[in-house]
Structure 1
Amino acid sequence: MSGVISGFTVIFVIVALGYLLGRTGSLGEHAASVLARAVFFVCTPALLIHALATSDLSVVFSPTLAVASVSAVAVGLCYALLARLWLRRAIPEIVIGALSSSYVNSVNLGLPIAIFVLDDASFIAPLLLFQIVFYSPVALAALDITALPDEQRTSTLTTVTTPLKNPILVGGVVGLAISLIGWTPPQAIMEPLDMLGQASVPLALLTFGLTLTGVSVFKKGQSPRRDIVLASVMKMAAMPAVAYALARWGFGMTGHQLFAQVVIAALPTAQNVLVYATRYRRGEVLARDSALVTTLLSIPVIALIAATLA
């Protein structure tokens, strides 16, 4: 338990520093955007290449992949059913809400928590691949069909392949390929990758702290409050519970393995959902507010999980 507390303390300190930098404007008005792009396009792909190239493939194609994918799909479908029958929402808003309830922030918070709390970044790799290879293309295809007029729709091939150009996915695939063929890259290649990868976590935490400044939620007349509450409850309560049931009784996990699966499921909504909502101009406030609410809730929720299962 002391290791978990120590890990959270490290995360809180760096996030708080990012928040203070944002409040004071020390890094300029575009700091969050620039740092986020550095993390997304350079540091995280390097981290994945290095981590996967030096790990066993059984870590990626493991029960973690099954637990993460099944729990996400189950919770997303449950949200969609409730949003349709209870809230009477249109399909584009249902898709955005379903993603808000089940699409995990695996980079900005997932990697730091995996490293400092779970002590193993490889727990995140299966989740990253599932979300980018399967979940994103399916959601984007649904939005392309339902949210855009005919003249603005892209081809099915473009809709499906666009997420595959994601640099994080490319980094994961490259790392998997290196591990699969059993090649050990020279030190002159691995050391720069290691250095850039080590920068991913602190930069991601600083970026997260920067984004917390000047944000308000549940704004009267603009915010779909019932949708946000439903998505947040599904994300922070239902998804960890489903992951626990699958890991504990479906795969017989105990100890640290069980703890890791539940923590991964309790990660907050990813910012990717807001990117998709903005692209299709549907459910933008829902995506934004759900991400912030679940991010704030994830701290006590993961702390409770750690106190119970760690």
Structure 2
Amino acid sequence: MHDVLLGFTTIAAVIAVGYGIAAVKLLDERAQTVLTRLSFFVASPCLLFVVMSETDVAGFLSRNLVATAAGVAVAAIPYILVATLVQRRRPDETAIGAMCSAYCNAGNLGLPVAAYVLGDAALIAPMLLLQLGVLQPIALMVLDAGREGARRTRAEAFWRAARLPFTNPLTVATLLGLAISLTGLRVPDLVMEPVGLIGGLAVPGVLIAYGISLRLGPMPGRGVPAVELGFVTFLKLVVQPLGAYAAGRLLGVDDVALLALTVTAALPSAQNIFVHATRFGRAELLARDAIFVTTIGSVPAITVITLLVA
């Protein structure tokens, strides 16, 4: 557990660096935009390619994946229903909120949590593959569609939606990484080394941009209604872990996998949600505040889950 807390502390420290940089006016909103764009178009695709190409795709077809998907569904669907039927939100804004409610920080915090709490980094694979291979492309499709205001026929809208995921750098990188993993091909070190080096910029770049936004924008909790932020946090840290646990029990997964499913579902909202929100100009404050609150809240949540389920 010490290593998990160290992981959270490290993230907080990098965010604090971004906050301090903005506080002394070394960087401003324009720098935040540059960091976000660099992460979205260059660094994050490189990171995703490396992670996916080195992941065992066999986990994608296991009962763990089904239970993971169930946890995501029970957290995302209530938000989608409330945002659509009650709040009358735009689909792209709803997509950001749904991601805040059910899209875990599997690539950053998930790996150390799986390694140090669960004892096997591969246990994060079902969540990572589900998010990068399914949830992220769907969310990006909705966000891309919301950015286009021109009217189209149904056929035109369908074909545009069908090809949008394949024009997004994050999705393309994910698919390429999956192809490498499935075929067993070995990427030459001459290619993988620089790609990995560039990918290393993704997480600190996003965290520093996030810290800048904390200093220059409204403080967390002041830009988003407390009821909505509380609802998202409840879905993320309570409903999703309970859903994954219940599904795992019903499917008869072993105790180690059950703990992995529950702990993984309790990870905070992923930082790259903020990248997407900033990139598409939709629900940025909700993404920022949800990441902030769930990151803090996930520490006691994971601690309690580990003590009870283990």
Return the TM-score normalized by structure 1: 0.77
- CA change 1:260–1:77 in 2 (3 A) is closer
How has the CA–CA distance of structure 1 residues 206 and 267 changed in structure 2, closer, same or farther, with 3 Å as cutoff? Answer: same
Secondary structure (helix, strand or coil) at the match of 1:117 reads helix
Say which of 240, 254, 271 aligns to 2:274.
271
Tell me how far 1:183 sits from its aligned partner: 1.4
Q: Tell me whether 229-238 or 6-15 shows the greater mean CA deviation.
A: 229-238
Contact 2:224 2:289 in 1 (8 A): no
Instruction: State the match for 1:199 in structure 2.
Output: 201
Decide which moves more: 167-176 or 31-40: 31-40
| Residue in 1 that maps onto 2:12 | 12
2:130 aligned residue: 126
Do 2:95 and 2:139's aligned partners in 1 also have CA atoms closer than 8 Å? no
Shift of 1:174: 0.8
Report what 1:96 is aligned to.
93
1:115 aligns with 2:126: no
Q: 1 CA distance for matches of 2:257 and 2:5? A: 15
Aligned to 1:245: 246
Q: What number of residue pairs does the alignment pair up?
A: 294
Q: Which residue of 1 aligns with 2:255?
A: 254
Residues 205-220 of structure 1 correspond to what in structure 2 (within 5 A)?
205-216=207-218
1:47 partner amino acid: L
Contact 2:95 2:143 in 1 (8 A): no
Deviation of the 1:227 alpha carbon: 4.2
Contact 1:97/1:227 (<8 A) preserved? no
Match of 1:54 in 2: 54
Contact 2:233–2:294 under 8 Å retained in 1: no
Q: Is the Cα contact below 8 Å between 2:23 and 2:215 reproduced in 1?
A: yes
**Within 1, Cα distance between the matches of 2:275 and 2:153?**
21
Give aligned-pair identity as a percent: 23
Report deviation, 1:188: 0.8
Moved more, 174-183 or 42-51: 42-51
Judged with a 3 Å threshold, the aligned counterparts in structure 2 of structure 1 residues 271 and 64 are, in CA distance, closer, same or farther, namely farther
Of the three residues 166, 171, 184, the one matched with 2:168 is 166
Matched-pair contact (CA < 8 Å) for 2:108–2:203 = yes
Once the two structures are superposed, residues 227-257 of structure 1 have per-residue CA deviations (whole angstroms, 9 ceiling, x without a partner) of: 4443443333322322232234435253476
Report the Cα distance in structure 2 between the residues aligned to 1:61 and 1:32, rounded to whole angstroms: 39
Report the CA distance shift for 1:302/1:176 in structure 2 as closer, same or farther (over 3 A): same
CA displacement at 1:200 relative to structure 2: 2.3
What is the CA deviation profile of residues 168-190 of structure 1, one whole-angstrom value per residue up to 9, with x for unaligned ones? 11111111111222211222112
Aligned to 2:118: none
Paired with 1:183 and 1:110, the residues of 2 have a C-alpha distance of 25
1:57 is aligned with what amino acid? V
The DSSP-based 3-state class of the residue aligned with 1:192 is helix
Alignment partner, residue 281 of structure 1: none
The whole-number CA distance in structure 1 between the counterparts of 2:149 and 2:243 is 33
Q: Structure 1 98/234 Cα, relative in aligned 2: closer, same or farther at 3 Å? A: farther
Q: Deviations over 1:64-122 (max 9, x none)?
A: 5434433333333323444566x4x33x4477346514456869x54221234334474
Segment of structure 1 superposing worse, 163-172 or 125-134: 125-134
Deviation at 1:2, TM superposition (A): 1.3
Tell me what 1:233 maps to: 234
Return the alpha-carbon distance in structure 2 between the equivalents of residues 257 and 198 of structure 1.
31
How far apart are the structure 2 equivalents of 1:152 and 1:227?
A: 35
**Residue aligning to 1:298:** 294
5+ residue gaps, structure 2: 116-120
In 2, are the aligned partners of 1:98 and 1:231 still within 8 Å (CA)? no
Letter in 2 for 1:126: L
TM-superposed CA distance for 1:18, in Å, is 1.5
Equivalence for 2:2: 2
More off after superposition, 8-17 vs 109-118: 109-118
> 2: CA distance between counterparts of 1:215 and 1:98?
22
Query: Gaps (5+ residues) in structure 1?
Result: 279-283
* Displacement after TM superposition at 1:58 (Å): 1.3
* Change in CA separation of 1:306 and 1:101 when aligned onto 2, cut-off 3 Å: same
Contact map agreement 1:19 1:206 (CA 8 A) in 2: yes
Bigger mean CA deviation after superposition, 10-19 or 201-210: 201-210
Give yes or no for contact 2:84–2:90 (8 Å, CA) kept in 1: no
Letter in 1 for 2:300: L
Residue 290 of structure 2 aligns with an amino acid whose one-letter code is T
